[in-house]
A and B are shown apart, each in its own frame.
Chain A
Amino acid sequence: MDSYKTFDYDVLVIGAGGAGLRASIEASGCGASVGLVCKSLLGKAHTVMAEGGIAAALSNVDGRDDWRTHFADTMRGGQYVNNYRMAELHAQEAPDRVRELEAWGAVFDRTKDQKILQRNFGGHKYPRLAHVGDRTGLEMIRTLQDHGIHQGIDVHMECTIIRLLKDGDRIAGAFGYDRERGKFRLFNARAVVLATGGYGRAYKITSNSWEYTGDGHSLAYDAGADLIDMEYLQFHPTGMVWPPSVRGILVTEGVRGEGGVLRNSEGERFMFQDIPDLYKNQTADNPEEGWIYTQGDKEARRPPELLTRDHVARCIVREVKEGRGSPHGGVFLDISWIKEKIENAPEHIRRKLPSMYHQFKELANLDITEEPMEVGPTTHYAMGGIRVDGDTQMSSVPGLFAAGECAGGMHGANRLGGNSLSDLLVFGKRAGEYAASFAKENDGATVNETAVADTIKWALEPIERQEAAGSASESPYQIQYDLQDTMQELVGIVRNQAEMDEAVEKIAALKQRADQAVAPGNREYNPGWHTALDLHNLLTVSEAVAKTAAQRKESRGAHFREDYPEKSEDWGGNSLVVRKGGDGEMEITREPVMEVPAELQEIIEENR
């Protein structure tokens, strides 16, 4: 058998974005020995891409804001199927987590009275997002990284985990390989925190990087943990659409928060035409009111461009479908028009949205201070994920925790912009804290040697197959492309039964092909091999998404079906839970949505 290096930790954290770093810092601070594993170099994780800000009811800009309003906004955005306890803790604790970042050196933009500045964002009643221009994610990850490197955390960069190991029911560690040399590593751990992000790479048009292959979702599923809400996948309304090679790259919601408007090819502000009942009271009914809202008028209501992401994405799809799209199949997002309203508009735009200016200038040869951008929906964020306890973040497997995007429940059927960075901080901290105490309270576990041997054999197959395969070999890249086409075409923004059933069949066929994938070359830094191994995760997650989406016969939040375009009360009371059955087949069960306690229900009603 192939040899491997062994490492022992109280807590092993998998993933070094916002949630993983925050969990590591917390666990280490609680006295646990911590190993942190990440697929990329430290500080490159997807958190770095977050642009708009961190949602927290600091009430620095509008004194009327408080955690209750943030909680109610989050529940409304999630169409009331959220894990209410997570939404509650998130709203209560986010302000402290932001202040803590400042204490660790983060440099936020400031208000005139020298506090942390907050900006408007979709679905948030008040200006709530602490930010740094449009590079908040970079500020956050760098702050956590620079703080974390002094906390005695053992970092394993460019290392991929391919299997979680158990001792009976509980977690015992994880097994993986270092990407540089292709050598295996065994991590014995009393507790494991998954913080691996999402799975946008299952789609063709996505704002996500190569890392987003649903590793945590799939690792947890294989280890016997429950997944929840997998049918809810957020398509961000504004990704770049032109040129083709940058299709899907994110255009921050901050553009709209600063006064940017959406128009169709007829020059119409089409978002005014379709304002959902749930948001009628809070949405401006004329352009002037929308504009003064973005400029801080507290009496004004927000413009319809700042409705929730699921809704805006669907309106864009409708405009394109009905022939009112932009030349390259999107719509127009215009911030340059604000020169009619304010002096020095170009300079203002460059200061407020520096990376957007840079991104369009460099990649599309377009000056956003002069011309409108072309934008369209892009796969962005997984609401669904590992089912966890709201307080501790522990999954249904003892000792296995999850935080951030790979955990499910917090955002319900649709996430509000800005709530993900705060989610990472609040639940990263909680996961780290409870993982450390689990490690303290439980003895070390013993990993199963047979499982290790099986994993090694499985992992080396794509490389070993190359000698046998010859010309009939199946490229892992091609399988991934075909999966991306399938998910994009058949389980996208607008869904129907026939297409999703077709997707389920296609995914089954792709699984067969993936078992024959061949990776030419050796084990040293071999992206073909890495892609072949990632396929297992992508396919597992895609199957869960397609199957749950096919089952939920209603439209809710990000899950929209043209054959069932309305919400159903019956479905609204149920969540879909995915787990691996005894026979290895995927099982999906309907379970009631957690009942919101009376005092929280009151807050929701007050804010309707």
Chain B
Amino acid sequence: MSTATFKIWRGDAKGGEFRDYETEITDGMVVLDAIHQIQAESANDLAVRWNCKAGKCGSCSAEVNGMPKLMCMTRMDTIDVDKPVTVEPIKAFPTTKDLVTDVSWNFEVKKKIKKFKPRPPDAEDGTWRVAQEDVDRVQEFRKCIECFLCQDVCHVLRDHQKTEEFIGPRFLVYAAALDMHPLDTEDRLEDLKDKHGIGFCNITKCCTHVCPEHITITDNAIIPLKERVADRFYDPVMRILRALFGKKKAAKPPAAEAGAHESTKVE
């Protein structure tokens, strides 16, 4: 057992400061435990979001010693407690109070992405036939717990505040999950280029680095989407084909017409 000093940011949208709190550290404790202990002992009104305490809900995102983390999955024995431990809210979004930020923008952004649109069912009972190999890829993206740590470290959002022009890595992963869904027939490429600002991403991979679910955000989601956008809008050969055969087919034939639906999803 040992004592640790925490420098916790206290304040609201108008401003605030770091305040020091001391608390006992016991076996196996995570940062969120320490925060809760401090809250119960000496700061009853310390605001913090949390739910599952097992890395499954993505509520307790914060910056611990400057690193974006889920507090519930950050063990105290991985942190040097000889020095004060700083805990502050994620910075890409406006502060509500203490460790809580206003992430409502993310919920608005999601609504603007065209929803899932499946092809007609394959079987009479209204179901589809899909092989495991064809869902492996989207299942990676669907692991996302919406902690928004990727949004927090994305410089386009964090430093340049391009919230009007750019949806951020979380929603590029969301768009990729829809676009690579074996049943989906919707076309989101034009939106990705014009409304969702996929061009702003310059693949610094900070998002991939902080993802607690270890989703390979840039390589597996964003780059393939960028390639599709480039093929559609910037490839001269495809442009000619499109002029000859119509708009959608060249880039992404509707599954119903394509016969073997698996092939429509492969790059």
Q: Is the CB of B44 within 8 A of A250?
A: no
Contact of B40 among A133, A477, A529 (CB under 8 A): A477
Q: B129 an interface residue at 8 Å Cβ cutoff?
A: yes
Whether the Cβ atoms of B130 and A103 lie closer than 8 Å is no
Are the C-beta atoms of B56 and A48 separated by less than 8 Å? yes
Interface assignment of A49: CB less than 8 Å from any CB of chain B: yes
A157 within 8 A of partner (CB): yes
Interface flag for B30 (CB, 8 Å): yes
Residue from A102, A105, A359 whose CB has the most chain B CB atoms within 10 Å: A105
Residues of the B chain whose Cβ atoms lie less than 8 Å from the Cβ of A359:
54-55
Q: Mark B110-125, 1 if CB is under 8 A from A, else 0.
A: 1100011010010001
CB nearest neighbor in A for B132: A110
The reply to whether the CB of B256 lies closer than 8 angstroms to some CB of chain A is no
Number of residues on chain A facing chain B (CB within 8 A): 68
Query: Does B130 lie within 8 Å of A521, measured CB to CB?
Result: no
C-alpha gap A355/B126 in the complex (Å): 31
Most buried by A among B26, B51, B59, B143: B51
User: Does A146 count as interface, using CB distance less than 8 angstroms?
Assistant: yes
Give Cα distance in the complex from A135 to B146, angstroms: 14
User: Which residue of chain A is the closest to B121 with respect to CB atoms?
Assistant: A103
The residue of chain A having its C-beta at the shortest distance from the C-beta of B123 within the complex is A115
Contact segment of A27-35, A241-249, A257-265, A599-607: A241-249
- Give B45's nearest chain A residue, CB to CB: A521
Given contacts A149-B111, A150-B111, A520-B45, A249 and B130 within 8 Å (CB-CB): no
Contact, CB under 8 Å: A132 / B139: yes
Taken together as a complex, chains A and B put the C-alpha atoms of A478 and B44 apart, in Å, by 11
* Cβ-based interface call for A395 (8 A): no
Chain A residues contacting B241 (CB-CB under 8 Å) are: none
* A362 interfacial contact with B, CB 8 Å: yes
Report the separation of the CA atoms of residues A244 and B28 in the bound assembly, to the nearest whole angstrom.
Answer: 7
The reply to whether B51 and A44 form a contact with Cβ atoms under 8 Å apart is yes
Q: CB-CB contacts of A125-149 with B at 8 A, as 1s and 0s?
A: 0000000110101110010001101
CB distance from A109 to the nearest CB of B (A): 7
Query: In the complex, A478 Cα to B26 Cα: how many Å?
Result: 20
| Contact indicator B181/A107 (Cβ below 8 Å) | yes
A519 at the interface (CB under 8 A from B): yes
Contact B56 A245 (CB under 8 A): no
Question: At the interface with chain A, which of B96-104, B160-168, B226-234?
Answer: B96-104
Can you show 17 pairs from A to B with CB atoms below 8 A apart? A41-B49, A48-B145, A103-B126, A105-B116, A109-B135, A110-B130, A132-B142, A180-B97, A180-B102, A243-B27, A245-B29, A249-B53, A362-B73, A363-B30, A476-B44, A520-B44, A525-B96
Binding site for B on A (CB under 8 A): 40-46, 48-49, 99, 102-105, 107-110, 113-116, 132-133, 135, 137-139, 142, 146-147, 149-150, 155, 157, 180, 209-211, 242-246, 249-250, 355, 358-359, 362-365, 475-478, 481, 519-522, 524-529
Q: A99-B127, A110-B131 are in contact. List 10 more A-B contacts (CB 8 A).
A: A40-B49, A105-B178, A107-B135, A108-B135, A132-B142, A155-B107, A209-B51, A246-B30, A355-B56, A359-B55
